[in-house]
Structure 1
Amino acid sequence: MEVHENSSEPSGPLPIRRLQESVINRIAAGEIIHRPAAALKELIENSLDAESTSIKITVKDGGVKLLQIQDNGCGIRKTDLPILAERFTTSKISTFSDLSKLTTYGFRGEALASMSFVAHLSVVTKTKEDTLCLESLLRRRSSRNDGTTITIENLFYNTPTRLGALRGASEEYARILDVVQKYAIHNPHVAFSCKKAGSASPDVSTPSGSDTKTAIRMIYGQTIVKDLLHSKILPTDSEADSEAGENDDSPLWSAEAFFTNANYQAKKTVLLLFINHRLVESSRIKKALEGIYVGVLPKGTSPFMYLSLQIDPQSIDVNVHPTKREVRFLNEDEIIERLANSMQGTLLNQSQSRVYEYQTLLTGGILEKQTDLKGKGKAKEVTFDEPEGGERSGSSSAAATPHATAKKTPSNHKVRTSQKDRTLESMFPVLNPSQVKTRNVIDVDEEDEAPPTPKTTSEIKESLCNLTSVLALRKAIGKLRHHQLTEILENHIFVGIVDLGRCLSLIQHAKNLYLVNHGALAEELFYQLGLRQFGNFSRIRLEPPPSLHKLVSLAVDVEEGVKKDNPDSGQITDKIVRILTERREMLSEYFSLTINSEGLVESIPLILKNYTPNLDKLPLFLMRLGPQVNWNSEQECFESFLRELAYFYVPEPLIPDKVVGSESKDGEEATRWQIQHALFPALSRYIVAPKSLLNRDVVQVANLPDLYRVFERC
């Protein structure tokens, strides 16, 4: 019996087959139309080729469900409609030599064909000679203004992979707006409008008959216009003379540029590049133009640039990319160099004075750099005058030497460092009212006497804990530490509360004055203190203990939108109460949140002695523990619970805009006292400040030398 082994290798080369027409069309469509914004770019260019003066765009679901463009151009002939959506049908060229003198946007005749292969396409058009408009798919006739309306629906319905690769609807719509804005700036004589389907007002709207600068102002705002430079660029004199010669092949070209000066600073470079009115990209041109701002803009900032380059069509190749995104032209290096040199000259000829707008300035030390007459910089220590009986903050051992103290310090470098000096709050009658209004409802463990002054506050020691999740959370705090901001908060001087409802206060560090959001600082502080005391909290006992169900129910009833979405709020309350009661042993052991078997809240955790949270926020705190805490993961559970606890401790009113009575005013005074005498001393002692607080919560508003300059002018 013979055994034949099957071989997996083919016996010979595979046959070559002709692909089906539908497969060919979809492959070609994928090269041209890769996202809704690419389809819109082709449609806008067709409308501009039709000499339109008004282009209206409507979008739904980022252009996937609907992408419609309506123009008032010359329209499409009736006889051309049968082949309108076929490949390689165009009115722009007839022979290959026409590419060398091309002045239109489109020329290959693949845009509409590609769209029809991957979407449902309909066209409504009317020429000046037609009395009725024609719809290419339904062959209907109706009255309509001159022009064409093209509607694309269900884009990529038959290519699910391409559809799945798209980003969200909002990001795709942002790309569409970017395309519309760029063409609106380059074509200010055309009125552009782009809006979402069903929206009453457009997101982009420009009038017809304006100029480029006006279009930039309408799209990018008034701020950029005051820093905008304009330049018209031509070849050098030698190039111009040679171009007039008979045997020179240098291309005739010109350019117009709008670009920002040294006062404008953006995070990302914006370059609008048009070559022969075609929106293109060029990494070489972008790199060269960015190079002219080196040494002009601070590191990490970028300019805005719009460049329109006109080149002899015979010197340019437009057919190097399926989407016409790139072009090639002769003498590219010389033209780019001329562009960069001309724009750089215009930039440097402007006034060298700059206007700086800054938000934060963290010195991070006590050394200043001073410049001698020869221009050489050297570090020189700043000495501080010390008031009688005062304490010095941030001074070094070198400053204590006889040589250092003998130096005469200018008045504009003197810094108040004594804690005994007056604050803003000391100018008004301030009580010592911490816990005055809450003694009837709470009893603080280990602290029955009146609150001591901050100097006698005991150290908050880090609890012993071997849980990996807690150790990881503690380690994460150190990784996010911002050393300069931490130093400022450690050595700050409290100046006063600016706005209690908005949680704004003033602090001073060295020669700088900072406006801080003490609510954001407090939330981070209480989270870190909660993590520091994990499993070893003191307790605030509630007398008499309130019902957990009543507290949660109260918060659920006043929560906005709950009754609209869930008519039966009792089910929500029961679910939250069940979640907390099932975990009451863990809550009591780790967080000192005690709920007895009868569903009464006996105690809540005490994070900072001499500081009592606003108990009006207790129902909201308990209600948020249900949906906001991730109970399924240990580390995320501990982190989210401590974040909610920190939010509960933030010294802010439950209703910021509420009109206060006499009793509420006493509570406000108690809050002010706690912020000054408990919160800010704890901030200087314990907080490890993360960099995220610099975004909007710590802002420098003044510094002593600059203030002296202002007063010297008076």
Structure 2
Amino acid sequence: MDTERRSSSPELEPQPIHRLQEAVINRIAAGEIIHRPASALKELIENSLDAGSTSIRVTVKEGGMKLLQIQDNGSGIRKADLPILAERFTTSKLSTFSDLTRLTTYGFRGEALASISHVAHLSIITKTKKDACAWKAAYSDGSLAPIKAGQTVDPKPCAGNDGTTITIEDLFYNTPTRLSALRSSSEEYSRILDVMTRYAVHNPKIAFVCKKAGSPSLDLSTPSSSDVPQAIRLLYSHSIAKELLHESISSTGNSQRDDDENDDIDDTPKSWSADVHFTNANYQAKKMVFLLFINHRLVESSRIKRSIESVYSGVLPKGASPFVYLSLEIDPRSVDVNVHPTKREVHFLDEEAIMEKIADAIQKTLAGQSQSRIFEYQVISSSRLGEPKKKISSQHKVRTSLQDRTLDSMFPIADPLILDDPLASTDHNSPSTSAVKVAEIKESAVALCSVQTLRQAVVTGKHHQLTEIIGKHTFVGFVDLPRCLSLVQHSTKLYLVNYGALAEELFYQLGLRQFANFGKLKLDPPPPLRTLVSLAVDNEEGIENSRLTKSQIVDHIVEILMRHRDMLAEYFQLHFDTEGMVVCLPLLLRDYTPNLDKLPLFLMRLGAQVRWGSESECFISFLRELAYFYSPGPLPVTPTHDSEGPSDQNEAREKSAKWQIQYILFPTMRRYLSPPKYLLDRDVVQVASLPDLYRVFERC
């Protein structure tokens, strides 16, 4: 039958070979590079990183199919290069084929923008630092196109910041088969977030932002001053970050733990170094999360993934998977990056030997850690199980009553003074003062990206153990008022705290929380700005060595502050009138008044220390100076001729300061402070533990 059918069919004639049209060639090539919105975004993020950007902002509509916009603050594109920008194989990275062996950039073939222009509507706004204005251009099929109908194709001048903004609209509008093959917009958007998350982990010094068009909230936001563990904690979860282990491995055989920087790579072609963050045996997930970067390029490798999975097969139960971030740096001469259209895969020399050494280091660390695994457990109340309640031993009992005596109540004090200051005349030992209600401080609504990034950095940098201590402490008493030292109790432990350092961080965070919505602290009568700055300059050491006279320094500081007075009034409620009088100061905390003796120094430091040229740095430095002004410090002593003791005024100041610190400052810290880890180094120190004290007394 088959023989008869073949014999009855007409003989096939060879078809002529012809050259495809250029438009068909370009669309086929574009399909190899741009698979979906996430692949287009990956190419654009790499271009932004190559341009030296420190901030990358992405806006998405309908999963990137309707709109995909990426904005960076990199070096920008020269106007002269715009006509050939979207042509195929136009690049600033390569000149000869041999340059591939020394490649240290992400992009090199010049295909990304060309491919996008063939399957989407592409427009670009760019500005270099040398340009007086930004330039806008549109592209279609690799060539310049009119921005609007009836206009010429030449780039048009426009307003814009340094850097580049690339806008992709109607992706795959002319390839309906590719468009119909995409998943839902929500799934495509999740792929976009996944790409940005991975690059944000690998580039913790760069600020990444991603949001949906028209949405006021950010779906991804990272600060520009974190490290890899902090980025993992922010972008993945705290449960992963707290179980992370770290290893640094290199071809020299060195293995460094902690966060030491890797040694410089040798000058031999086979030199390499690896930095890997991986979870311990306490963390178990259903699916492995594997972030692989080779020479800072996000890639995939099933072989490398399998080798790491084999390490965990002997540590985790069946079906459980780890989290692994691996950054591998290899001499460019040993890597072939040109093996995949999207650069998703790379090949390199001695892959098996390198991965064996990395896997051995991971396995050794896991084996050592598993000897002291920490298991989390939950205690079920015995009363719920119908069992008698167990007796708690004395050394584990915790006093929590707010009526307990403080250190001050254990020493004799003089009769209360009759003072004009209502705070100072308060009976500080009365129960009513301990019941002062903490004022509610609402977070202001701010659209500025810089402020949102700073707020997110506070959340990211919060140390959870220290937050627990401060949030549930009981004030014990003052130890040394001039040195800002006091005692607080948490559970069965006693801590010596530098409340001045804690207060400075608190007021910085309160400033961020109330940005552009401060209360006002009016000065009546308003003092002259120039006089206050002059007082600070006269008392500042080292001014004599300056090239400027004291009068010139005062003039310069006053001129800076008056030049920015509109901004200071709008954002911070720091008001200077046209005659140079200080009318209002920002009020950070109700019922708390800063030491106004520090006002001249505060105003002088504003002019000298605030970095006015950058929005984010301006806000940080101003709020830090404001926090320093508000934080308690040593009290000034009024001179007295009474040899028997301090004056009534000095004692009144001390009582008023203690009242504010104990009944206003510490309760506000308990509610609003998100303390960073650096405060644990020397500002919060454990001095006693009740169980340990019981052991000492038992031996006695």
| Alignment TM-score, normalising by the size of structure 1 | 0.48
Larger radius of gyration: 1
